[in-house]
């Protein structure tokens, strides 16, 4: 995931799409109907009925797959389906990954919920769920008695409240506990960010963005499935990295508290930065260092803005003026959300300065080629070194020296 503080913040997570046949394992049981294959088929049938009910907005059909005795779960499910009613779903499926038995009539299933927003997601968003189920001996069907977050630990937006939907020209904003006025303002800013990113990034991309706006910063952390402190982070972007061309849908998650403290300019920079991550996702991989992915996103956000380097990088400018010139390009750990906010700001500003240096010294086309070359490398080791050699005809040592001089002359 990538993020931005009131001005800066970020971290990246990478993953791979799961594909192929459903993989199911289970415990042997004395009766054929409870054998692993039959159990999996029965659970899949229940999941298929639940998926169809969501797409049909049929609450009764969905609850018909839940155990009648699970009154708390049924109440929560009824509320969640109502919260989800206005979200324009293009698809909703469940992928069954593993089944463990607890006797002939009890099972726990590890499931991946995959959903797609109509007209916005080229590929689905995935969320891990763990379902507890009971088989009714009278009708042979499996019924859900428990539903909780899986390995990623993340909650879903509609589990936090009624989802308000705002359609922009290039954006879709989904909010909980926020006013329509707030969400429309975010949509307008995102609608400006999308064409700005298209001008800064030469490759074709979807040209649209989905934003989630939860009620509080704690709700934001729940959506991300982490305990990190996002209090000073205005927005983050989630999504899986890789150069397959079939990357899952990204989500820009806005922290309404931090975002709301920014002026119009700051909000525009934040959403343009995050939208850049969406556009460059297919060219970003585990080989891409944070200084490049975050620095490029900042470079794209500031590219058309009338700002001096010292105003773009005030923390780094202060450090340079007091003689504290950084010795190396920012490391990935410098971009962590916890810790010293000034250090975090300097990391982002250092990444921006590195990308601005490439654009100024070698040209924007070389910056794009460098970004693609690093992301296309098989792994982190040697990725930057090889790309600097092949694209920029330099070495990391010489580049770092030039970057330090660029900081001294531009920010001192």
Per cent of the chain over pLDDT 70 is 89
- Whether residue 14 has pLDDT greater than 80: no
The structure tokens 């359609």 sit at: 167
- β-bridge partners, 164: 175
> What pLDDT was estimated at residue 3?
65
- Whether residue 45 has pLDDT greater than 50: yes
- Whether residue 258 has pLDDT greater than 80: yes
Runs of H (alpha helix) within 14-151? 36-55, 59-63, 71-83
Asked if residue 272 is part of any domain, the answer here is no
Asked if residue 239 is part of any domain, the answer here is no
Asked if residue 226 is part of any domain, the answer here is no
Asked if residue 323 is part of any domain, the answer here is yes
What's the pLDDT tens digit per position in 134-162?
Answer: 999 999 999 999 999 998 788 999 999 99
> What pLDDT was estimated at residue 231?
86
Residue 386, Cβ density class (10 Å: 0-12 exposed, 13-18 middle, ≥19 buried): middle
Confidence band (pLDDT; 50, 70, 90) for 103? Answer: confident
How many domains does the structure of the chain reveal?
2
Boundary residue ending a domain (86, 120, 153): 153
- Whether residue 58 has pLDDT greater than 80: yes
Q: Which of 106-115, 202-211, 238-247, 366-375 has the lowest mean pLDDT?
A: 238-247
Asked if residue 187 is part of any domain, the answer here is no
> What pLDDT was estimated at residue 28?
27
- Whether residue 50 has pLDDT greater than 80: yes
Question: Beta 209-213 vs 233-238: how paired, if at all?
Answer: unpaired
Kindly compute the dihedral angle of the four CA atoms of residues 300, 305, 308, 311, in this order, to the nearest 10 degrees: -80
Confidence band (pLDDT; 50, 70, 90) for 4? Answer: low
> What pLDDT was estimated at residue 181?
97
CA–CA separation, 237 vs 129, rounded Å?
21
Question: Which residues does 109 contact at the CB level (< 8 Å), separation at least 6?
Answer: 43, 96, 98, 99, 130, 131, 133
Which of 309, 346, 310, 308 has its CA nearest to residue 330?
346
Asked if residue 400 is part of any domain, the answer here is yes
CA–CA separation, 226 vs 306, rounded Å?
36
- Whether residue 29 has pLDDT greater than 50: no
Domain that holds residue 81: 32-153
CA–CA separation, 106 vs 132, rounded Å?
8
CA–CA separation, 377 vs 382, rounded Å?
8
Under DSSP, the state recorded for 283 is: G
Question: Beta 251-254 vs 209-213: how paired, if at all?
Answer: parallel
> What pLDDT was estimated at residue 288?
97
Asked if residue 185 is part of any domain, the answer here is no
What region does 404 belong to: left with phi over 0, alpha with psi -120 to 50, or beta? alpha
Boundary residue ending a domain (153, 183, 203): 153
Boundary residue ending a domain (153, 176, 208): 153
Asked if residue 370 is part of any domain, the answer here is yes
- Whether residue 331 has pLDDT greater than 90: yes
Average pLDDT, the chain: 89
pTM, full prediction: 0.87
- Taking CA 299 as the corner, what is the angle to CA 395 and CA 120, rounded to the nearest 5 degrees? 120
CA–CA separation, 152 vs 207, rounded Å?
28
Which of 19, 73, 22 has its CA nearest to residue 43?
22
Mean pLDDT confidence for 47-59: 98
């Amino acid at each position: 995931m990538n993020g931005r503080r009131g001005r800066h913040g970020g971290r990246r997570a990478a993953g791979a799409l799961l594909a192929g046949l459903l993989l199911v394992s289970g415990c042997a049981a004395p009766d054929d109907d409870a054998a692993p294959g039959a159990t999996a088929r029965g659970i899949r049938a229940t999941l298929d009925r639940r998926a169809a009910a969501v797409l049909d907005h049929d609450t009764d059909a969905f609850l018909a797959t839940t155990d009648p005795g699970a009154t708390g779960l049924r109440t929560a499910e009824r509320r969640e389906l109502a919260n989800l009613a206005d979200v324009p779903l293009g698809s909703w499926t469940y992928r069954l990954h593993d089944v463990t038995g607890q006797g002939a009539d009890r099972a726990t299933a590890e499931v991946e919920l995959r959903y797609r927003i109509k007209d916005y997601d080229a590929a689905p968003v995935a969320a891990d769920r763990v379902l507890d189920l009971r088989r009714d001996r009278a009708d042979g069907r499996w019924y859900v008695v428990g539903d909780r977050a899986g390995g990623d630990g993340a909650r879903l937006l509609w589990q936090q409240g009624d989802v308000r939907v705002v359609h922009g020209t290039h954006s879709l904003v989904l909010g909980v506990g926020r006013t329509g006025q707030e969400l429309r303002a975010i949509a307008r800013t995102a609608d400006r960010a999308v064409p700005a990113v298209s001008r800064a990034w030469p490759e074709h991309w979807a040209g649209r963005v989905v934003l989630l706006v939860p009620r509080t910063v704690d709700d934001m952390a729940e959506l991300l499935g982490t305990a990190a402190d996002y209090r000073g982070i205005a927005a983050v972007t989630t999504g899986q990295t890789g150069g397959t061309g079939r990357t899952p849908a990204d989500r820009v998650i806005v922290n309404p508290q931090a975002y709301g403290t920014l002026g119009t300019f700051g909000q525009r920079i934040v959403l343009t930065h995050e939208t850049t991550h969406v556009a460059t996702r297919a060219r970003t991989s585990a080989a891409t260092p944070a200084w490049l992915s975050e620095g490029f996103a900042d470079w794209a956000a500031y590219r058309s803005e009338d700002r001096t380097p010292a105003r773009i990088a005030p923390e780094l400018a202060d450090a340079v003026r007091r003689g504290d010139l950084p010795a190396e390009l920012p490391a990935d750990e410098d971009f962590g959300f916890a810790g010293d906010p000034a250090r975090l700001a300097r990391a982002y500003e250092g990444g921006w300065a590195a990308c601005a240096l490439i654009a100024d010294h070698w040209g924007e086309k070389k910056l794009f080629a460098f970004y693609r070359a690093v992301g296309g490398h098989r792994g982190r080791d040697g990725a930057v070194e090889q790309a600097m050699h092949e694209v920029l005809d330099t070495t990391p040592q010489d580049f770092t020296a030039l970057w330090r001089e660029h900081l001294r002359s531009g920010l001192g």
